[in-house]
A and B are shown apart, each in its own frame.
Chain A
């Protein structure tokens, strides 16, 4: 904080020497603008959370929290709002995505930082950066055209030729989400591993550890919290993903009859589909906000967990 104090002092002295010059007025305006920007950020966030919470609580009160969270039939046209199918769809597909996408991503990031030849690191990173920036609808379209037919064949191969199964469902959604979050998790894990201090690796090598041992007994444990943060981030992204999942999950508003291969829905997919028809202010619309509130609470929980992780890391050192 030393330099800041010095700057503040220098500025105060400068201010004393030329208090009423026109430049001061401009300075005050600029300062005011900067503060206004910061205030805008806080106020908009508060407004966003406030509006959402107000509408969502109104919806939850109209239906009843218990019915909303545990009912398994979602039929807005009949006034029945059971969100269990939506919540289950969101969580199962996101957890599947973490196992399918995050594990290979973390392993690949370990290989890239510890063992890969220097010459390919940059190119590898670039490919993954573009892959993580590709619009989710593009992944969704690819999955719709290639993954869903493949899954349909697989489903019939496993469950029998004329079993009531389809390619649309949690299996496709989980696989697609895993493919989508993997580049993001990989990039975050790379950042985490690249922050491992070089001296640690050298010390490990000096006591006779092989590169493999250094990687998995020194670097990975050191970066473990940040890698966990990356995985949580991937989970949050998978849980919040909307359009791509909507394209492959089938859109049936009930619990899946077959865990892997039958159509169901997620919170965000249902919001974007039903919001078009719901009359604003009606229970039908308010309940969608309640479901969004569930999603929001999940992401806030993820923030708290990641903050806790990074804070205890600072505390430990």
Chain B
């Protein structure tokens, strides 16, 4: 007996399924397109504010550290522009089969040169919006101190998250002895991960502002953000530590290294890209968070110490500023200021996401580190 071949399309009801399938697909694509267009709109709407480099030199306003801040900001802006150009050039060259024309070192040199030249020569020609002080009542306010605070928050909170988060992850992945204690740590992390961010804000408020009477401070905000990020960082770091092959550890131990030496010299370097990508993601959350910062770092910018590195002063970030301008502020151009702030935030968050994805791609057995070692 010969079996008749049946094609899928001959099955009963297949036309209905095909219709449903394309309906679902159209819906899903529309769904993503809405978000994509929303992101593009945000960048385009506020893009004018953040891309209008001035032909004249902006006069200094006489705030401490201002020229240093302008230098760093210009270096970052031009460094990112250089990085984008290098990535685009590499993509174009590899498409034409000439990827040998520009190796990694040349790319790095281009980025470094762009950053240095931009910092040296273009720091006074940055868009006014990015370096001016905010204004609550007049048009033309900028986001200079907010931008500075946002980056400074990222540095401060990473300074806490990095040692504590990686330390706890290494402990859980490699040195844990007592199952009960490990259970306690995991329960604590699960609880932290589930808490709404406002609860962290209340905790920081209670500890730093009420009990210690320290007032609103960047340190309090950074501490709270570090706590908020701990579950994420410990989770991803532990996962990348678990992905390190046991054979590597065993080889190192067989050579006579102690377990701590093995962890520091073998395990951690292997897992490092994954850990870095967790840190970058956590920085993205620092950029985005607002409620806990309002309660711990306040909503004010003081002119006298706008660019001060003192962590015990208060100050608002970009996200807080966006809320403040729309809820409390009275400036007539708040729509434009909000658009510009939102565009900067979206660009910053987008960059951290791209960077985290790239870093995560470097890790593990397929990573560039391993490829380099086994070439």
Physical interaction between A and B: yes
A110 CB contacts on chain B under 8 angstroms:
24
User: A275–B205 contact, CB under 8 A?
Assistant: yes
Task: Take A52-B199, A127-B39 as given contacts and tell me if A135 and B288 are in contact as well, using a CB distance cutoff of 8 Å.
Answer: yes
Give the CA-CA distance A183 to B28 in the complex, in Å.
12
Q: Please tell me the size bucket of the interface on A.
A: 35 or more
Comparing A35-43, A74-82, A169-177, A217-225, the segment that makes contact with chain B is: A35-43
Task: Take A127-B36, A247-B323, A307-B190 as given contacts and tell me if A236 and B284 are in contact as well, using a CB distance cutoff of 8 Å.
Answer: no
Task: Take A38-B185, A48-B203, A272-B291 as given contacts and tell me if A135 and B210 are in contact as well, using a CB distance cutoff of 8 Å.
Answer: no
Comparing A65-73, A252-260, A289-297, the segment that makes contact with chain B is: A289-297
Partner of B172, one of A3, A38, A208, A275: A38
Within 8 Å of chain B (Cβ to Cβ): is A26? Answer: yes
Within 8 Å of chain B (Cβ to Cβ): is A140? Answer: yes
Q: Which of A152-178 contact B (CB under 8 A)?
A: none
In the complex, how many angstroms separate the beta carbon of B232 from the nearest chain A beta carbon?
12
Task: Take A34-B167, A272-B201 as given contacts and tell me if A26 and B196 are in contact as well, using a CB distance cutoff of 8 Å.
Answer: no
Q: Which of B165, B206, B352 has the most CB of A within 10 A?
A: B206
Q: Please tell me the size bucket of the interface on B.
A: 35 or more
Q: What secondary structure prevails in chain B residues at the interface with A?
A: helix
Within 8 Å of chain A (Cβ to Cβ): is B143? Answer: no
B352 CB contacts on chain A under 8 angstroms:
133
Please give me the residue from chain A that is nearest to B17 by CB atom: A212
Within 8 Å of chain B (Cβ to Cβ): is A20? Answer: no
A183 CB contacts on chain B under 8 angstroms:
35
Please give me the residue from chain B that is nearest to A54 by CB atom: B206
Please give me the residue from chain A that is nearest to B281 by CB atom: A133
A33 CB contacts on chain B under 8 angstroms:
163, 167
Residues of B within 8 A of A (CB): 8, 11, 14, 17, 20-21, 24-25, 27-28, 31-32, 35-36, 38-39, 42, 163-168, 170-172, 175-176, 181, 184-185, 188-192, 194-203, 205-207, 209-210, 227, 230, 234, 246, 249-250, 253-254, 256-261, 263-264, 281, 284-285, 287-291, 294-295, 319-320, 322-323, 326-327, 335, 338, 342, 345-346, 349-350, 352-353, 357
10 A-B residue pairs with Cβ-Cβ distance under 8 Å, sorted by A, are A7-B246, A34-B168, A45-B188, A45-B191, A52-B202, A110-B24, A130-B39, A130-B349, A138-B342, A142-B38
